[in-house]
Chains A and B, each alone.
Chain A
Amino acid sequence: MADLSIQVHEVDGVAVLRPEGFINAHTVRQFEAAMEAEILAGRYTILLDCGLLNYISSAGLGAIMGLIETVRENGGDILLCRLQKNVHEIFDTLGFTELYRVFATEEEALQSLNRTN
């Protein structure tokens, strides 16, 4: 199995990315490129479904951080859902749960966007 695979689909203009495996210094460029491709396609709201993500290192967190201004300046956002316990702890330890909206399920995240819009 590859260290990281990423499924991407669109729901009402929202890019839903499902990374599976490990996001670290080796795979971060692949992760970054997947998010950048959605931004280039004009999808500025990105939902990261982390249900199959085993772990994310600071390299991956830096990639998210590097794109947050771009998406928010264009009226979008980066949302997170289905964080496994150890992944949630990494986000929480670094204060990312204050910076990003975190949801239990993909449906809840998408519904929150409908309420906002």
Chain B
Amino acid sequence: MRNPAEPESFRLVIPSQTRYLNLVTGMAKRASVVAGMDDATSAKVSIAVDEAVTNVIVHAYGGEADHLVEIELRFLPQALEVHILHNGRPIRENEVVLPDPREYVKHPRKGGLGLLLMSRFMDEIRFLETGGGSECLMIKRVV
């Protein structure tokens, strides 16, 4: 039985392979609609989830295909929480440097855009250390 004191949630565990990205983003998009978001907002959530899961596969696990990524979606009364858990190299909040888009346009280069999209499309992003693993927590409020 589900504990009624806890928010409704579900989770998906995928191998650390990019071929599952479309599955995860599709789920995130549908979950955003269920949470009460419009199509434009749900598209933003799905992009943010794509970027976050890609970061885990490519950077935290270094592209190694035999690990696991856990995606948990929690339906709060006024928000959707996306928890992305892994056991790879942690990303620490004090290491995160977001590029300035105005500078980026002046001096184009590859890389650094994923975190910027995540920060622009979600209301809150946190990088946490959990018991034995790491987590990227993203929150999108339902307005």
The interface of chain A, by Cβ under 8 A from chain B, is 3, 22, 24-26, 55, 57-59, 61-62, 65-66, 68, 85-86, 89-90, 93-96, 98-99
The 8 Å CB contact of A94, one of B40, B43, B117, is: B117
* CB contacts between A and B, total, < 8 Å: 75
The 8 Å CB contact of B47, one of A25, A55, A96, is: A55
Taking CB atoms, residues of chain A closer than 8 Å to B57 are: 25
B21 touches A62 (CB 8 A): no
B104 touches A86 (CB 8 A): no
Interface residues of B toward A: which range?
Answer: 20 to 34
Contact with A along B16-30 (1 / 0, CB 8 A): 001101100100000
Contact with A along B111-139 (1 / 0, CB 8 A): 10110110011000000000000000000
Taking CB atoms, residues of chain A closer than 8 Å to B43 are: 55, 86
A-B residue pairs in contact (CB < 8 Å), sample of 14: A3-B22, A24-B22, A25-B21, A26-B21, A55-B25, A55-B47, A57-B114, A59-B114, A62-B110, A93-B121, A94-B104, A94-B117, A95-B101, A96-B105
